[in-house]
Structure 1
Amino acid sequence: MLVLLPAMAAAQTASDAAPAPAITLPAVEVIAPSPLAGIGIDRDKVPGTARSLGAEDFARTASPYVTDTLFQRIPDISLSDPNGNSAVQELSYRGFAASPLQGTPQGLAVYMSGIRLNEAFGDTVNWDLIPTNAIDRADVWTNNPVFGLNALGGAVSLQMKNGFTFDGFEAEMQGGSFGRRSGAAEYGVQLGDYSGYLAAQTVHDSGWRFKSPTNLARVFGDIGWRSAGSELHLIAMAASTSVGASAATPVQLLERDDRAVYTTPQTTRNRAALIGLNGTQSLTDTWSLQGNLYIRGFQQHHEDGNLADTERCSNSASPQFRDHLCLQDDGFPRPNPVTTAFRDQFAILDQNNNPIPCPPGSGNSCGTTPYGTIDRTATRATTVGGSLQATNTGQVFEHGNHLVVGGSIDRSTVGFVADSTLGFVNPDLTTTINPAIPGNGAIIHTLSGIGYAPLSIDTRNTYYGAYALDTFDLAAGVAATAGARLNLADITIQDRLGTSPDLNGKHSYARLNPVAGLTYKFAAGLTAYAGYSEANRAPTPLELACSNKAKPCLLENFLVADPSLKQVVARTYETGVRGNMPIPGGRLEGKAGLFRIDSTDDIVNLASLIAGRGFFQNVPGTRRQGLETSLQYQSDQWTAYAGYSLIDATYQFTGDLPSPNNPLADANGNVQVVPGKSIPGIPLHQAKFGFDFMPTPQWKLGADAVAVGSRFFFGDDANQNKKLPGYRLLNLHTSYQVTKEVQVFLLLNTAFDRRYALFGTFFDPRASANVGLPIILTDHR
């Protein structure tokens, strides 16, 4: 449960912020068909699904997290929570992810004011960096390759506020359960041809689970100028966030205390800053230019306490390693006969290359000591880029036409470092340094560099794009769209330490992605559409550096080899109808559509036979197909919405995939996949609905509900195990406009106070045998 109050405002943009006899949703007739906001196209001429949310939608949820509002209002968006913290949840649209978690294959392109937000190293999306009170509009696209790399399932384009679109001052304060305290303020002003806008947002949340605090601070600003035919905006953003990630926890521990955490510390600190220049220029009555330039910096520091995968070195190792600490070698294929060199490569050494002796005591003290590691990574990235686009709205052969031609370039340099410090896992599952245990506090590596090894690499990514998209009015109510985008990607990885030459490599990818579609307007309020498009994504530096099955990585900490991966290509087919019509007392709007997305060479993150490690691999084919529907009703006193989605995400090949912690895996730690097996983590069914009712012009009350179906655990690619249960949520809210300037509101989230899970995976319960837990873990979930 979360109770939040009060709020105050001197100028409001939300629909519940000012007393009025009617609730009016924004009438959005046009939508920008590319990341650059320019002259938009009639929404009824888009041969695909394009959904929009306005600033009032983000204000309505009163959440500081972008993903909460997108999830609530878009039928086929789902959330998972591998980090165990709502500030850094993973968003999935049509079964494709935009996640902050390194190691999750990404499938959505995300932009803010025309600037790409997918991070350079892993294409991740750090939703926690985005100030929600500064969002003017969010467009969620499908079937449009113009959005470039990663738009396999679609794209999310955020347009931010400026002094021309927001005028006045608004401030909000919240306080609630689990130590939640947050504040937000924004100010916009227009002075003749000039404008200014500034927004700030802070959040502190202690978290309902142990060791899961959240601290966010975010600022966005815009200085604008416009005159006849010209507009220019200088934008800036800065954010600093710190998140405690409680992550997945064994079900047996959760049954004892649902706040439990499995191994700590687990913290992520993000820093980001951005400066950009966006502009538009009218050239003639029909031609205009749009463009941007930007520079963006990003830093991430991650600390993760884990159980170490160690054992006493074999007696067949060299004498200097016997009775010393080694990496567990059971998962490695062994030569016959087993050689001394094979055993020696698993010896664990400190930063001075000294082997680490077993603790004093009789017996196998290395095997009975609960060793842990504190794994640390640091990422520092700088991206510079720009886009230029020309738009023409002139007629062609006396038929309406909308042409967009443009190009973009994004160049990133990334420095990534990682190491592991040997530690001790206490009975409360905290990993600390125990001076009584030899080697504790040392930065470790194995003799061969497998498993544990300090790492320092540089990567350089350059992404080029050129595109054209044309929509031509064939006849009254009939429009045809055709276009294509050429994507080029050059990626270079360089080992700075000289100890991992397998990491060095250069990779280039190129592809031309077409799009075609048709819309037909049956009547003033009813349109049918059909479309086909292709999109691709290049493997990220992270995936390329961890794609060798023989040298798996402890994601994201150890990257050890660099064989090539193929680029992913997605082919989207979709058709549907959309319409709106007046009904007695109000207006009704609806959408219904079918889609199929076939992907070849999809990249998946697979577990290794070596405990706790994984690698990336192409698989021949996957399919996401389904149905999406939505309805929205508006009247003077009522606003209501409902949506349903069915997403059938399946593998389309036959083969074995590693899943060694799956209790039903075969003797080699594999599960067999056949066409039609569901991709884990994606619920088949989702239903969402909500309403707002104004009993008086000052008082509003409402509710939002979601029902999400069950999904398979990650690692259960053969669909053999029990599913992660579905869940239902009800959130209630009410607000009262005390005066023109002051409003109070109350939110009650998860009104039934039910516990539910958004993420499930498997682990090896034997790994914690020596920790001293009050129970013996036997369940792999």
Structure 2
Amino acid sequence: MPANPSPAPRRPVPCRAAARRGSAGRCAATAIAVAVAVLIQRPAVAQGDTPVQKQDSMVLPEVMVVAAAPLPGIGVDSDLVPYPVQTVRGDALNGANAGNLTDYLARNLAGVNVNDIQGSPFQTDLTYRGFRASSIPGVPQGLSVYLDGIRVNEPFGDVISWDMIPEAALASVSMISSANPAYGLNTLGGALAMTTRSGLDSPGLTADVSYGSGSRKRANLSGGVKSAGGWHAFAAGTLFQEHGWRDHSDGRLGNIFAKAGYEGETNSWDVSVLHGRSTLTGNGLVPAYRASGDTTEPDLYQANRRAVYTYPDKTRNQVTQVAVNGRHWFDDKTSAAALAYVRNSRRDTLNGDVNPDYESYAEDCEDGFGADGSPLGEDCGMTRAEGAALHPAVINTTHMRQQTVGMALSLAKETTHHVINAGLTFDRSRLTYSQYAQPGTFTDDRGAVADPDAPNELFSGVSGTSRMFGVYLSDTWSLTPSTFLTASARWNHVMVSNTLRNSDGSEQPRESFTYRRLNPALGLTQKLGGGVTVFGGYAQNNRVPTVLELGCADPTRPCRLPAGLQADPYLKQVVSHSYEAGVRWRPGKDTDVTAAVYRIDNHNDILFLRAPNTQLGYFANFDRTRNQGLDFTARQRLGDITLRLGYSYLQATYQAAGQLAAGERTIDIRPGMRMAGLPRHTLKLGVDWQALAGLSLGADLVAVSSTVSSGNEDGLRSDPEPGTAGRTADWRVPGYATVNLRASYKVNKHFEVYGRVGNLFNRRYESYGQIANNVFPDGSLVRPHVAPGDGASALFVAPGAPRSFWVGVIYRM
């Protein structure tokens, strides 16, 4: 896996080299200059940081150094790369600024949105420019995510376990745009690169404890030490627990991160350990409206904002990761680095759902029964007595075990006109997965209870391995003092092997697939003077099919999402072609403006399509999709006030024809049709005010335009009958705007108190919508002898949280 996309200063070694040569005076001067630069430095788009204190006009101009490649190397001034990089300091994620990492990114970074599909703060569906980094299996993932260079997209479905990110240990978080090939597989729309702290940069003790709405309790504790001899150690942990603002939505998690190592004149190394466990509830979508003839009627969500459709929906995660990093400096401009790691993860889920057979029975038998109990509906397939014997509920349990081991090597060299980074990576993953189903019944409040007399049977399973090898080279070339060419390329070789298990326990023949791809990138940056820089470039990247997608890729053996595995025929890899151009304006340390336009064409995208003559589906290659748009960010400091603005425009569309499976609906896709769940317009405004010496006040507004609901892309609410146009429905999720407040006060150098208010005006809003069958109209189960008719078609939504309050205290020593 690619490693360590650290935005640390590019030249950390000259002092050591100078000391060896006896140039102590030049070393001291360099150290002072670097220290001053670090003190005044602001990230390129660190939009939620504490306002910068007033600085003397003669200090050095700010310089933000970003990694040109994900392995440890020599960084490049962010003003020279031909794509936007938004970077956040880890301190901004604590205290008054945000509830957690994804909350902060959604409020502050341009192009980022969050769909609260699961309803849990640590099980979010994050999108950047329409590409996803999601905790939901079966969702097409288009962002690569790294923690200290270790790719944390899980092997089974490239999902992200946000609850296993050690937020209390983060030093920086960077969102790198475009299909940058140096960041490896799955970087179709960008990469999210996180680095952790150490005792070298974070000595001392910090404790952050908070409590608020939904009985949400959180404690972050971190501490670091370092010695004059170069030894250092750091540890950080998080404890989180809440009852949740929705019914039956409690959750808890705990994780700890520890790092220890040594940094000498020419060599440095460290060993880090991450361990975390969680039990989270993701109760998902709830019906808001149901169809009734030619009209719609309000449903469960309208009557009770906190309601859930069915429960329980528990996910238990556990991750243990050990990594060893080392680096050697041959001289002050040449270095080599190595990384080795092992990562074990397990995920167990328990979901109380509607029995698909019961759901199909309620839908297909809408014409009722004759006097003898025989069905009148042509597709009913069973008598009333047979339907009455069906269990309405099913308890689905899944068990996933994954292990990944990897290593990476890198070389970095800086010359007069070049900054060169090269590296290779190798990763091997093993996994097993199984799903079981046990029939059951529902309680009066829609809780699923297993029938103790019914067997808990294997539904499907898979075991497999994947091997990934990559080699990359990146060069930033100074053509002139104001013109910079960035070229990079990466060759990926991936082999995936699967063995599927049938419901009777038998195994299908083992299948193996091999994918290869050379991805190039080329970009140009031109400084025009007056703080204006223009840039543009082209990049390619690829994503190989996941085990989940290969396990359900046969139209003759379709399955149900998220986890029904039936067959594993070949799927082509997804290839993205990214074009981007933009401008930066940085006339001084108080003003920062960036604008970028982009187009990303995805060839052979992998979508869940409808199998012929069924309500099931399968993953298949889709000829072409497109994500294009504009991102604009601006920051202006006016004395003690810092103003922030971010605007994003996104067109995410299908560019070919086909039939998409969306829940129980079949969508006839036409070129130019919008994708679901992605807003076209997003506006983010923020203000930070240093009101007094120790008092900071802040506010932000997030405004999102309407989104297309999944299953309503064609403007219909149900599949049309043969020879009819179908019933139309404008079931888009309406746009919304929320306002959030924050305040912090430093009592003294040790204590700080803070508070946050989310959704100040208690705006009722939804972040995602999907059309599905509803067997609980108005919260009551449809009985077999009652035909629901068109009322089975309903709009399910992901509710946004109501007004919430949190208070906390930070202790630093």
Preserved CA contact (<8 Å) 1:64 1:132:
no
State which drifts further: 15-24 or 586-595. 15-24
Counterpart position of 2:806: none
Say yes or no: does 1:69 pair with 2:98. Answer: no
What CA deviation, in whole Å up to 9, does each residue of 1:470-507 have, x standing for no partner? Answer: 11111111011112100111000113578455573111
Say yes or no: does 1:454 pair with 2:459. Answer: yes
Counterpart position of 2:584: 578
Preserved CA contact (<8 Å) 1:592 1:628:
yes
Counterpart position of 1:403: 420
**Mapping of 1:553-592 within 5 angstroms?**
553-582=559-588, 587-592=590-595
Say yes or no: does 1:604 pair with 2:607. Answer: yes
Preserved CA contact (<8 Å) 2:112 2:127:
yes
Counterpart position of 1:148: 184
**Mapping of 1:103-142 within 5 angstroms?**
103-142=138-177
Please report how far the alpha carbon of residue 464 of structure 1 lies from its aligned counterpart in structure 2 after TM superposition. Answer: 0.8
Q: Which amino acid aligns with 2:192?
A: V
Gaps in structure 2 of 5+ consecutive residues: 1-41, 289-298, 366-379, 717-729, 796-813
Preserved CA contact (<8 Å) 2:95 2:208:
no
Counterpart position of 2:497: 492
Kindly tell me: are residues 222 and 674 of structure 1, through their superposed partners in 2, closer, same or farther at Cα, counting changes over 3 Å? Answer: same
TM-score, normalization by structure 1:
0.85
Could you tell me which of 471, 479, 485 is aligned with 1:466? Answer: 471
Please report how far the alpha carbon of residue 368 of structure 1 lies from its aligned counterpart in structure 2 after TM superposition. Answer: 6.4
Please report how far the alpha carbon of residue 242 of structure 1 lies from its aligned counterpart in structure 2 after TM superposition. Answer: 1.0
Counterpart position of 1:376: 397
1:762 aligned counterpart, secondary structure: strand
Could you tell me which of 178, 202, 219 is aligned with 2:256? Answer: 219
Q: Which amino acid aligns with 2:423?
A: G
Please report how far the alpha carbon of residue 441 of structure 1 lies from its aligned counterpart in structure 2 after TM superposition. Answer: 3.0
CA distance in 2, matches of 1:620, 1:659: 18
Say yes or no: does 1:95 pair with 2:130. Answer: yes
**Mapping of 1:25-64 within 5 angstroms?**
27-59=62-94, 62-64=97-99
CA distance in 2, matches of 1:609, 1:71: 39
Counterpart position of 2:17: none
CA distance in 2, matches of 1:88, 1:203: 14
What CA deviation, in whole Å up to 9, does each residue of 1:35-69 have, x standing for no partner? Answer: 22332112122111211111232136544522111
2:494 aligned counterpart, secondary structure: strand
Q: Which amino acid aligns with 1:419?
A: Y
Counterpart position of 1:323: none
Counterpart position of 2:211: 175
Q: Which amino acid aligns with 1:463?
A: M
Q: Which amino acid aligns with 2:692?
A: T
Kindly tell me: are residues 628 and 443 of structure 1, through their superposed partners in 2, closer, same or farther at Cα, counting changes over 3 Å? Answer: same
Preserved CA contact (<8 Å) 1:310 1:367:
no
Kindly tell me: are residues 738 and 311 of structure 1, through their superposed partners in 2, closer, same or farther at Cα, counting changes over 3 Å? Answer: closer
2:168 aligned counterpart, secondary structure: helix
Say yes or no: does 1:545 pair with 2:559. Answer: no
**Mapping of 1:489-528 within 5 angstroms?**
489-495=494-500, 499=505, 501-502=507-508, 504-523=510-529, 525-528=531-534
Preserved CA contact (<8 Å) 2:164 2:319:
yes
Say yes or no: does 1:481 pair with 2:498. Answer: no
Could you tell me which of 768, 782, 788 is aligned with 1:769? Answer: 782
What CA deviation, in whole Å up to 9, does each residue of 1:196-219 have, x standing for no partner? Answer: 111011111111111111201011
Please report how far the alpha carbon of residue 549 of structure 1 lies from its aligned counterpart in structure 2 after TM superposition. Answer: 2.4
**Mapping of 1:137-286 within 5 angstroms?**
137-143=172-178, 144-192=180-228, 193-251=230-288, 252-286=299-333
Q: Which amino acid aligns with 1:123?
A: D
How many residue pairs get aligned? The number is 703
Counterpart position of 1:735: 744
Please report how far the alpha carbon of residue 716 of structure 1 lies from its aligned counterpart in structure 2 after TM superposition. Answer: 2.8
What CA deviation, in whole Å up to 9, does each residue of 1:498-540 have, x standing for no partner? Answer: 8455573111111000000100011152111000000000000
Kindly tell me: are residues 385 and 33 of structure 1, through their superposed partners in 2, closer, same or farther at Cα, counting changes over 3 Å? Answer: same
CA distance in 2, matches of 1:97, 1:240: 24
1:146 aligned counterpart, secondary structure: helix
Please report how far the alpha carbon of residue 238 of structure 1 lies from its aligned counterpart in structure 2 after TM superposition. Answer: 0.8
What CA deviation, in whole Å up to 9, does each residue of 1:10-56 have, x standing for no partner? Answer: xxx99988996679999452101222233211212211121111123
Counterpart position of 2:370: none
What CA deviation, in whole Å up to 9, does each residue of 1:140-179 have, x standing for no partner? Answer: 1123111111000010110111111111111011011111
1:261 aligned counterpart, secondary structure: coil
TM-align CA RMSD: 2.9
2:122 aligned counterpart, secondary structure: helix
2:286 aligned counterpart, secondary structure: coil
Counterpart position of 1:725: 734
What CA deviation, in whole Å up to 9, does each residue of 1:411-433 have, x standing for no partner? Answer: 10001111101111233211113
CA distance in 2, matches of 1:292, 1:102: 29
Please report how far the alpha carbon of residue 552 of structure 1 lies from its aligned counterpart in structure 2 after TM superposition. Answer: 2.3
Preserved CA contact (<8 Å) 2:388 2:784:
no
Kindly tell me: are residues 171 and 17 of structure 1, through their superposed partners in 2, closer, same or farther at Cα, counting changes over 3 Å? Answer: farther
Preserved CA contact (<8 Å) 1:22 1:636:
no
CA distance in 1, matches of 2:529, 2:468: 43
Preserved CA contact (<8 Å) 2:391 2:439:
no
Counterpart position of 1:780: 794
CA distance in 1, matches of 2:450, 2:102: 37
What CA deviation, in whole Å up to 9, does each residue of 1:668-725 have, x standing for no partner? Answer: xx32221111111111000001111112111111101100111111123335542111
Preserved CA contact (<8 Å) 1:547 1:615:
yes
